[in-house]
Structure 1
Amino acid sequence: MTKPVANILGVPFTTRGFGETVTHLVERIESGEQMHVLTANPEIVMLANENQAFRTIVEQAYVVPDGIGIVYAAKWTNQPIHERVTGVELVEALMAEADKKQWNVYLLGASPEVIQLAAQKLEQRFPNAHIVGYRDGYFRQDEEEQIVQEIASKKTQLLFVAMGSPKQDQWLARYRDQLQASLMMGVGGTFDVISGKVKRAPMLWQKLNLEWLYRLLATPSRWKRQLAIPRFVWTVLKEKWSNRS
């Protein structure tokens, strides 16, 4: 029997494939559970290794492997993660479930233009899902309590938050108990993709597991963030070799 959790540098990842993950999350929502879903790539793993407060957040979340580097690391360390569970695809799959089950959905974050466009596109594609509210991520700290109360009043099954990482997951962890949402998930740049403002890598790049390279070529300013990848690879291999000795 496959273990439900794989440990990559101390971060507990679910080992479920994409379809199994969606099924499992839907079951937990319907059973009345509350959960914080965190999509983690090598950058997030390295941050969790360097920041104890963030590591605590990660350890308490339902962590899915968003990043081919995680799949490779699992292979190198003989752990059963075999496919990515990307944030964009998980949001779309959960929205399809919301459409079937008429769930309430709240969208928070991104720019005013992007969040409005994303809400419109999702309403067109999933007309039976109830988008009960949305607002951009440009708010002051003294507005947070009112935003949290508004979201809580909507009794949402799905809350998607786009503030960039790690801020979005820190925000969700801070207000988790007050938000009253069944599933809370930080979604990074997903609203940019859904709104059409940012194009996802072509399917060939996705199939070749080179989506990270496509994003880097499209946005060269990401290069500093991408430095986490070689550090991650070195740390995983170093740990593997030290466990052998």
Structure 2
Amino acid sequence: MTKQVASILGVPFTTRGFRDSVDYMVERIESGTQTHVVTANPEIVMLAREHRGFRSFVEQAYVVPDGIGIVYAAKWTNQPIYERITGVELLEALMAEADRRHWKVYLLGAHPEVISLAVEKLAERYPNACLVGYRDGYFRQDEEEQIVQEIAEKKPHLLFVALGAPRQDEWMVKYRDQLNASLMMGVGGSFDVISGKVKRAPAVWQKLHLEWFYRLVSQPSRWKRQLAIPRFVLTVLKEKWSSR
């Protein structure tokens, strides 16, 4: 299958839609090909733009457009990205595949209470998926080797890591050759949503593409992170006009 990529501020996004991306990932997992998935929103793009090391990780990954800002940027720059692929929805779609195919799944990250609740909810909803292990994100550096060894022994088809960006992707890249995981994906705050600790924006907010604003209103402490959105928009428009 040919690589289908669009570049947004130097970050290579897949141009496949949601269902095609899931099918592509399934195909890679079934063929034993390792995949590192990055769900990139404007904040991740700006991070990659400003930090060469992080950008090199992203350039080697399968990057999906997690954020309506990416879809708009593609429209402004005449690139074929038409559909956002949110991390939590992609996680759930892959869990549905794990349920059908009896795949092994390992979860890493988040607060101890959050990860326990997330595992409980996922086990209820996807009873045929094999949840082979989980670990919260509050571990010391000297515990990493033991965690990596445990994951490697389980050989999960799916490894979901919630350590926040860029740490989660740096962690996966650091240990990818030892982890024995078919597909690794950074999932940010997805465990918080799945556990029920954080509510997703109501459907009407999602349809209006205002999920980012709902999160800001619900969690005002996010305002510094949300500054990446106007910076991203201005940078995209500046590059667009300077290329004319």
TM-score band, normalised by shorter chain: over 0.9
Q: TM-score, normalised by structure 2?
A: 0.98
Amino acid paired to 2:181? A
Amino acid paired to 1:92? E
Whole-Å separation in 1 of the counterparts to 2:170 and 2:3: 28
SS of corresponding position for 2:243: helix
Structure 1 match to 2:71? 71
Q: How many residue pairs are counted as aligned between the two chains?
A: 243
1:81-120 equivalence runs, <5 A: 81-120=81-120
Sort the Cα spacing of 1:224 and 1:212 in 2 relative to 1 into closer, same or farther, 3 A.
Answer: same
Whole-Å separation in 2 of the counterparts to 1:148 and 1:225: 30
Whole-Å separation in 2 of the counterparts to 1:92 and 1:182: 17
Structure 1 match to 2:26? 26
* Corresponding position: 1:146 with 2:146: yes
> 1:3–1:15: 8 Å Cα contact kept in structure 2?
no
Per mean C-alpha deviation after superposition, the further-off stretch among 13-22 and 3-12 is 3-12
Question: What RMSD, in angstroms, separates the aligned Cα atoms of the two structures?
Answer: 0.9
Structure 2 match to 1:57? 57
Whole-Å separation in 2 of the counterparts to 1:50 and 1:215: 24
Per mean C-alpha deviation after superposition, the further-off stretch among 3-12 and 59-68 is 3-12
Whole-Å separation in 1 of the counterparts to 2:233 and 2:200: 25
SS of corresponding position for 1:185: strand
- Structure 1 moving runs of 4+ over 3 Å: none
1:94-243 equivalence runs, <5 A: 94-243=94-243
Q: Equivalent pairs: percent with the same residue?
A: 78
> 1:41–1:70: 8 Å Cα contact kept in structure 2?
yes
The CA deviation at 1:242 is 1.1
Gaps of 5+ in 1: none
Q: TM-score, normalised by structure 1?
A: 0.98
1:71-108 per-position Cα deviation (integer Å, ceiling 9, x unaligned): 00000000000010000000000000000000000000
Whole-Å separation in 2 of the counterparts to 1:152 and 1:160: 14
